[in-house]
Structure 1
Amino acid sequence: MLITLDNVLSKDEVRQFRAHLDRAEWQDGLKTAGTLAAGVKQNQQLDESAGIAIELGNHILRRLGGHPLFISAALPEKIYPPKFNRYSGGGHYGAHVDGAVMPLPGSHGTLRSDLSATLFLCEPEEYDGGELTIETAFGAQQVKLEAGDMVLYPSSSLHRVEPVTRGARVCSFFWIQSMVRDDGKRTLLFDLDQSIQSLTPQQAKGDPDILQLTGVYHNLLRRWAEV
């Protein structure tokens, strides 16, 4: 399932983020590249232990905690602290698949990457290129969203960032371990939850059909969740 979430951050919040990020000390992205990624990665990243990276990342997590569509789509169990990257001057990230298991910074825990997220922090007209191209069962899909919007997609997907030929592409990115690791099951739960939310306002309070559908949703979640 590939889904976009509008207005994770407001335009004002994006402006505040950019005020910090535009004067931040960016590092060569190769410092965090694995053996395979080193040959296809050309970008800059913010040191994830930097105070501003932690502060901005925590702000994103607070916003997501109150975003119903994110909760419904991701069913998050763990979230990797948001990181930040910048592409300019031909910067790109060739085709790759995100690592399956990642150590969580500042702890002895790990995270299974079920979903990948990219939160755009600049407007599409600020740069040329830079599309996030994701290979799906229905072919390649290119994503280039408005500032403050975010895309969620399976971490198992082959994906790439196209070369940025003008301006700079600034984003936050991170990974989610879902309570339901199977993408097909998670998609079914999402579709059912969205249908229940759409139908509920049209029915009387305590409608037996809505109650039954809600019971089906929770019983499926109970069967499939790994918590």
Structure 2
Amino acid sequence: MLCVIEGLLSTEEAGQVRHRLRGGQWQDGRSTAGALAQQVKSNQQLAPADPLAQQLGEQILARLGQHALFTSAALPEKIYPPRFNRYANGGRYGTHVDGAMMVLPGSGELLRSDLSATLFLSPADEYEGGELIIETEFGAQQVKLNAGDLVLYPSSSLHQVAAVTRGERVAAFFWVQSMVRDAAQRSLLFDLDQSIQALAGKLGVDDAEVLRLNGVYHNLLRGWGL
């Protein structure tokens, strides 16, 4: 399932983050890539331990925790702290798949990457190229969103970032371990939850059928979760 979450940050908030990132200590992005990915990766990143990256990442995590659509789609159990990257002057990231297991900074716990996320920070009209191209069961999907919008997609997907031929593309990215490991089950729960929310808005939260469906949702989550 590919899910676009519009306006996670407002345009102004995304601009403020971008402004602060201009003073960051950018490094060669290949330093954090595996042996195969190093051969197709050409970008810059902030080091995970960079204080600026940590502060901005905490702000994004706080916003995610308040966002109902993100919670519904991801059912997050663990989130890898957001990182930041920049593409310019032909920078790109060729076709790759994200690592399956990651060590969470600070805790040493393992995170299984069920979902990958990209939060676009640069206005789409300020750079050319830079599309996030995700291989799905319906073919390759090109994603280029407005500043402040986020896309969530399975970490198992082959994906790439097209070369940026004008301007620069700045983004945050992170991974999620979901309470529901199976992607098909997670997608069904998302559709069911969204339908319940829509029906509750029309019929009221105390409607008998809304309550029945809400019970079905939670019993499925109880059976499929963790």
- The answer for the alignment partner of 1:163 in structure 2 is 163
Q: In the alignment, residue 116 of structure 2 is paired with which amino acid?
A: S
- Helix, strand or coil: the match of 1:206? coil
Is 1:101 matched up with 2:111? no
Structure 1, unmatched stretches of 5+, are none
- The answer for the alignment partner of 1:153 in structure 2 is 153
Q: CA deviation at 1:33?
A: 1.1
Q: CA deviation at 1:181?
A: 0.7
- The answer for the alignment partner of 1:122 in structure 2 is 122
Q: In the alignment, residue 81 of structure 1 is paired with which amino acid?
A: P
Deviations 1:96-137 (A, max 9, x none): 000000011112201000000000000111110000000000
Is 1:218 matched up with 2:218? yes
Q: CA deviation at 1:199?
A: 0.6
Is 1:138 matched up with 2:138? yes
- Helix, strand or coil: the match of 1:188? helix
- Structure 1 residues 45 and 196: alpha-carbon distance in aligned structure 2, compared to 1, 3 A threshold: same
Q: CA deviation at 1:205?
A: 4.7
Is 1:59 matched up with 2:59? yes
Deviations 1:173-210 (A, max 9, x none): 00000000111000000000000000112114521111
- Structure 1 residues 21 and 212: alpha-carbon distance in aligned structure 2, compared to 1, 3 A threshold: same
TM-score, normalisation: structure 1? 0.98
- Structure 1 residues 205 and 150: alpha-carbon distance in aligned structure 2, compared to 1, 3 A threshold: closer
Runs of 4 or more off by more than 4 Å in structure 1?
Answer: none
* Number of residue equivalences: 226
- Helix, strand or coil: the match of 2:12? helix
Q: In the alignment, residue 216 of structure 1 is paired with which amino acid?
A: V
Contact conserved, 2:205 with 2:211, CA < 8 A, in 1? no
Q: In the alignment, residue 11 of structure 1 is paired with which amino acid?
A: T
CA separation in 1, counterparts of 2:60 and 2:204? Answer: 36
Q: In the alignment, residue 147 of structure 2 is paired with which amino acid?
A: A
Q: In the alignment, residue 197 of structure 1 is paired with which amino acid?
A: Q
Identity, % of aligned pairs?
A: 63
Contact conserved, 2:26 with 2:46, CA < 8 A, in 1? yes
Contact conserved, 2:118 with 2:150, CA < 8 A, in 1? yes
Deviations 1:73-113 (A, max 9, x none): 00000000000000001100000000000011112201000
Q: In the alignment, residue 87 of structure 1 is paired with which amino acid?
A: Y
TM-score, normalisation: structure 2? 0.99
- Helix, strand or coil: the match of 1:181? coil
- Structure 1 residues 205 and 157: alpha-carbon distance in aligned structure 2, compared to 1, 3 A threshold: closer
- The answer for the alignment partner of 1:198 in structure 2 is 198
CA separation in 2, counterparts of 1:4 and 1:205? Answer: 26
